[in-house]
Structure 1
Amino acid sequence: MVVPKSSRRLVCKVSVVLFFAALYLGGIRLFTCYVSCRPEIRAKTNQTEVLNKTDTAEKTDRIGSKAKAAIHLEGFYDYDVNVSFTLEWRIGQGQAFAQGGFKLRKNQIVIPQTGLYFVYSQASFRVSCSEEEGAGKCLTPLSHSIWRYSDSIGAKASLMSAVRSACQNTTQEDSYSDGQGWYNAIYLGAVFQLNRGDRLWTETNQLAELETNEGRTFFGVFAL
């Protein structure tokens, strides 16, 4: 029996393809075995993975460090349950937040690093004005201040303060004061050079007249 030439050529081609495929797979197996059996190569591979992870972590830290240090606190005071007679500042309330190393400790803001900071605060009041006084209504003083303690100074110092009078007479009566109470707000804000570890806090009178809902009373600092 004579095999046709076309069939013999096909068999030769298939044999060549199978030979090179087997050679390719054998080379891959030999290379894999070589790499896995060489401890120094495994060590270099592990070292490369560690370096890549470290580089990724450093990039993440650099991105996080670009965020400006800032803190914004919302005020809270409940006359019926608060026995400390102090305006309480909270982070987990409303729009309050803290980033860049700022801490709220014992109702005081702790400065994370030495530098320039903008310090601000607002206290809103609703004072009930007595109509029995007539033209001689009693003036109610409202005060709000920000204090600082620094180890470099060794004593507390007033950063900002303001005093206003509520229920005062005017030539044209304000509709807000007509039987509803006198609304007023004290806002403080300025730039200061502060040191790492400095502590800031507020002092406010007429706490029973404070409005602490809907972001009306707040305290904050941010780095420049």
Structure 2
Amino acid sequence: MVAYTTAPGDVEMGLEERMVVLVEKKSSTGHMWKVAVALLVVALCLGSVLLLACYWSGKPYLMTQSGHTEALIKNDIAEKTDPHTTLRRISSKAKAAIHLEGSCEEDCENLQGQLEWRSGQGQAFAQGGFRLVNNQIVIPQTGLYFVYSQASFRVSCSDGDEEGAGRRHTPLSHRIWRYSDSLGRKASLMNAVRSACQNTVQEDSYRDGQGWYNAIYLGAVFQLHKGDQLWTETNQLSELETEDGRTFFGMFAL
């Protein structure tokens, strides 16, 4: 900004002889803007340095947390792939649920297909009015229920013949029965049949006594009535595997 002023002249001089001097006055506004811009640039630089320092100081912790989280995720995936653990977790959150562990410790063949079910041991439990009476589950209320069961077998396919001609196509079966007053009789709720010792390629392992291993799993949703009784029937009880939660029976309300 430029301003003009008139310097005082000799009073006695005429208007024609007066001297006019131009004086330039610089404004301070431009200088203030330059200072403000410089301070802003400095502040941005300092902020960037602080952010970078915080990032690098926290990176080892983040890496450690990431590794820990990855391990937890792997463990969680391993647990979710186990059907026994998954069913146990779901049923434990239901209002009415029961989960039983199978047992066949002595003289299994004399049980005539009635695998002994036990509550209150291992992972077994009962809640919401479910009862185990005479080896049968009694339904507490009318409604929809998810019913499930698994029977695991280990069959010795070698009969001791020197030629190695072991047992062939040994049938394995597992069934869930239901009795309801509305029906007035028992009815098959679910069942499955499989053949053991059908794989001749694995005869060497049979001769070594390792046997043939497989499981029959049953599971579906049913409309059940209060007072209904459910139980299982399984053949080849002497070949049954009952340890480590391999054989179980349960249901939960939906």
| TM-score (normalised: structure 2) | 0.58
Displacement after TM superposition at 1:169 (Å): 2.3
Q: Tell me which of 95, 98, 102 is aligned to 2:126.
A: 98
- Residue 67 to residue 210, structure 1, CA distance change in 2 (3 Å): closer
Displacement after TM superposition at 1:139 (Å): 1.6
Q: Tell me which of 159, 170, 176 is aligned to 1:140.
A: 170
Q: What is the DSSP-based 3-state SS (H/G/I as helix, E as strand, rest coil) of the residue aligned with 2:238?
A: helix
1:198 aligns with 2:198: no
Q: Tell me which of 79, 91, 97 is aligned to 1:70.
A: 97
Q: Tell me which of 136, 157, 172 is aligned to 2:187.
A: 157
1:113 aligns with 2:138: no
Q: What percent of counterpart residues are identical?
A: 76
Q: What is the DSSP-based 3-state SS (H/G/I as helix, E as strand, rest coil) of the residue aligned with 1:173?
A: helix
Aligned to 1:173: 202
Displacement after TM superposition at 1:93 (Å): 1.7
Q: Distance in 2 between matches of 1:96 and 1:215?
A: 9
Q: Distance in 2 between matches of 1:161 and 1:81?
A: 20
- Residue 169 to residue 113, structure 1, CA distance change in 2 (3 Å): same
The AA in structure 1 aligned to 2:139 is I
Task: Answer yes or no: is the 8 Å Cα contact 1:129–1:167 preserved in 2.
Answer: yes
Displacement after TM superposition at 1:81 (Å): 7.4
Q: Deviations over 1:197-217 (max 9, x none)?
A: 000000000000001111000
Asked which structure has the greater CA Rg, the reply is 2
1:187 aligns with 2:217: yes
Q: Distance in 1 between matches of 2:95 and 2:194?
A: 33
Q: Distance in 2 between matches of 1:126 and 1:176?
A: 13
Q: Distance in 2 between matches of 1:175 and 1:89?
A: 35
The AA in structure 2 aligned to 1:153 is L
- Residue 152 to residue 79, structure 1, CA distance change in 2 (3 Å): same
Q: Deviations over 1:162-206 (max 9, x none)?
A: 000111125x42886452111010000000000000000000000
Q: What is the DSSP-based 3-state SS (H/G/I as helix, E as strand, rest coil) of the residue aligned with 2:202?
A: coil
Query: Could you say which structure has the higher strand fraction?
Result: 1
- Residue 67 to residue 223, structure 1, CA distance change in 2 (3 Å): closer
Larger RCO: Structure 1 or Structure 2 (Cα < 8 Å, ≥ 6 residues apart)? Answer: 1
The AA in structure 2 aligned to 1:157 is A
Counterparts of residues 29-44 of structure 1 (less than 5 Å)? none
State the aligned residue count: 158
- Residue 210 to residue 81, structure 1, CA distance change in 2 (3 Å): closer
| TM-score (normalised: structure 1) | 0.65
Task: Answer yes or no: is the 8 Å Cα contact 1:176–1:183 preserved in 2.
Answer: no
Aligned to 1:208: 238
Task: Answer yes or no: is the 8 Å Cα contact 1:127–1:209 preserved in 2.
Answer: yes
- Residue 107 to residue 154, structure 1, CA distance change in 2 (3 Å): same
Task: Answer yes or no: is the 8 Å Cα contact 2:150–2:246 preserved in 1.
Answer: yes
Q: Deviations over 1:110-163 (max 9, x none)?
A: 000000000000000011111636467422100000000000000100010000
Q: Tell me which of 98, 111, 122 is aligned to 1:84.
A: 111
5+ residue gaps, structure 2, are 1-92
